[in-house]
Structure 1
């Protein structure tokens, strides 16, 4: 069973979930369009605008320290990671 309360408290999971929902939505729209059920297509300009917006949001969140390493508690490195001379 999935513990949704815990997942929605994890900012990294929320960002990944949002990105995946957007990708699935685009795939559904493309599929419906190819079957003729709807008549809507993403233009190259629309896709670039969506990608640029998503990248800008992620960059801002990264600069604020909100996107963090999910293997550590809080926003800093673990005590063990601070002592690494090279990645394990």
Structure 2
């Protein structure tokens, strides 16, 4: 089990999730953040990326890497992390 409540209190974790989604998209389409100058272009980019199975797989792998804790067996937090109320 994962202590989602505590993870979402950590700004670094939220940043990791954001980057896990947007970096593969930008990389695949050869864009930089400066290329996204309107909300319409951001929306179109998201629609195009979700229509592309390759990009979706790369995003899922990136999310997996952001969520998974390699110091524990399986996909879970350690017993001590499950008792946290705030990020350490």
Structure-2-length-normalised TM-score: 0.31
Point out the structure with the larger helix share: 2
Q: Normalized against structure 1, the TM-score is what?
A: 0.31
